[in-house]
Amino acid sequence: MVGAAIWRALESKGYQNLIGRKSAELDLRDQSAVEAFFREEQPEIVIDAAARVGGILANNNYPYQFLMENMQIQNNLIDASLRHEVSKFIFLGSSCIYPRKAPQPLKEDCLLTAALEPTNEWYAIAKIAGVKACEAIKKQFGRDFISLMPTNLYGPFDNFDLETSHVLPAMIRKFHDAKKQGDIPVKLWGSGSPLREFLHVDDMADGVVFAMENNLPEHLYNVGTGEDLSIRMLAEIIQQEVGHKGEISWDASKPDGTPRKLMDVSKMKSAGWKAKIDLESGIQQTYQWFLNNAHQIKEVKL
């Protein structure tokens, strides 16, 4: 999802000499394969949009893979970019790098000040390692290696698998399937009370291109909207957009995750960038993309 959005954004601005590989073409966990790629292509700028990602369920079920595979991917790319003298490296992380109970909104300088959220600490630790590696390169070698920490992303090409998806696409899928099954009730995880911020992936891609085209003096920047809402409110917006008429129930026995994750985006705003796509329009666009591609997604009984 993220890589495709960045590719679209670069093409829309006239960039032509784009080099990219899908995961089936290049296994970024394989150090020798990554080294061969860099030797052959000699990229000038590298944007690391690759990661193993998922929601609470996937993080809980596969802690080792979320830790190790993400470290393998980013370490291979960061190290190869340093050795092959890439002029600019942009590392994409996640808002989950910040402590569970950090003051809201989350500022960049609260990194490593307290304990992480247990339900996604494996992914967070990997991403923190990537942030610190880029910071170390900037400090030791003076190279333009920066990290962008987006809030929760959604949009075209999202993952709608109910076992591995994040909350927003999972809700779209659940309400859609429930509507097709006669507007049956939809059961959602948790209490619905946590507050979350959501950023359309096309806005994220625009932020990446902005960071690529401008010299940002610091090593870490939050990327988001600076606005949040409760998971319960999100469910109501998605239910209305999908047209589901049934009931919503909440399974409070399931974990809520971090109580709140609102990003302080003042640093990016001061640099000259801010998000443009409002949540309702973004959900509408994402659901339309889902409908256009629903034939590729197997319906499940709820």
Catalytic residues, by residue number, are 123
State yes or no: 289 annotated in a binding site: no
State yes or no: 251 annotated in a binding site: no
State yes or no: 187 annotated in a binding site: no
State yes or no: 63 annotated in a binding site: no
State yes or no: 249 annotated in a binding site: no
State yes or no: 176 annotated in a binding site: no
State yes or no: 95 annotated in a binding site: yes
State yes or no: 216 annotated in a binding site: no
> Tokens 């595979």, residue?
69
Rg (CA), the chain: 19
Nearest to 91 by CA among 111, 77, 112, 80: 77
Taken in order 122, 124, 130, 132, is the CA torsion positive or negative?
Answer: negative
State yes or no: 153 annotated in a binding site: yes
Q: By the 8 A CB rule, do 201 and 1 touch?
A: yes
Binding residues: 92-95, 127, 150-153, 166, 174, 189, 196, 256
Binding residues for NADP(+): 92-95, 127, 150-153, 166
Binding residues for substrate: 174, 189, 196, 256
